Amino acid sequence: MKRSNPRYAGMLILLTAAAVLSVWVRQGRAVPLRRSFDQFPLQVGDWKGRDEGKFPEEVLKVLQASDYLNRDYQHKDGAWVNLYIGYYEQQRAGESMHSPKNCLPGAGWEVLESVQKPLEIPSVHRTIDVNHYVVQNETSKSYVLYWYDTHGRAFASEYQGKAILVWEALKTGRTDGALIRVLVPYGGSSQQAEEVATTFARQVYPLLKDYLPE
């Protein structure tokens, strides 16, 4: 019987990825950041950053990231965002990127809206696909924008990410990658929060090439 269900195809990709990674990660190589996130600019355009300190040990055990950035940025007009970048030198079972699609509900956030949209980055003449989420935790509501980066490729789909990971593991032995997330607390409408998130993401994206390996 022919199966064309996208979820079935997605599960096949995930199972294949797990099988390939379990074999190739033993022969693969860890790829460090080009530069430490400690050197990531505190000033991004009109945004001024402030480090939010280290995550608790129990959070780090779940994330299993090789390095990460957790920083708040405030615009001169008062708007602010949280930027999280998690980098993995070598992904393997139990040490791979955790999708906000799974982590946010697990942390008590209810997903109210979710969609993938293209994001134009005029400064580098590129357009990337990113995930847009509206989430709520009791009375707190936030707008979340995130995407993945693997060897210079930016994408929104977890399935696409697994497919790229399998291909790169077979071709180069590399399984490194990063998750980039921008979170904006609601101060008005969803449209306003989205505008803040996308404006900030457009300024952050060109900076990533100095830190993430291609």
pLDDT, position 11: 59
Is 121 inside any structural domain? Answer: yes
Domains contained in the chain, number? 1
Is 44 inside any structural domain? Answer: yes
Cα 30 to Cα 175: distance, rounded to the nearest angstrom: 8
Cα 147 to Cα 177: distance, rounded to the nearest angstrom: 11
Q: How many Å is the maximal CA-CA distance in the chain?
A: 60
Is 112 inside any structural domain? Answer: yes
pTM: 0.84
Range of the domain at 69: 6-210
pLDDT, position 139: 79
- Token look-up 């490729």 returns 153
Kindly list the averaged pLDDT for each block of 10 residues, start to end, along the chain of length 214.
53 56 59 95 96 86 89 94 94 67 74 93 96 89 94 89 81 90 88 95 97 94
Residue type, 190: S
**Closest by Cα among 126, 155, 113, 134 to 197:** 134
pLDDT, position 2: 45
pLDDT, position 13: 55
For residue 55 the two structure tokens come to 């995550």
Is 1 inside any structural domain? Answer: no
pLDDT, position 160: 83
CA torsion through residues 166, 171, 172, 177, sign = negative
For residue 97 the two structure tokens come to 């990127």
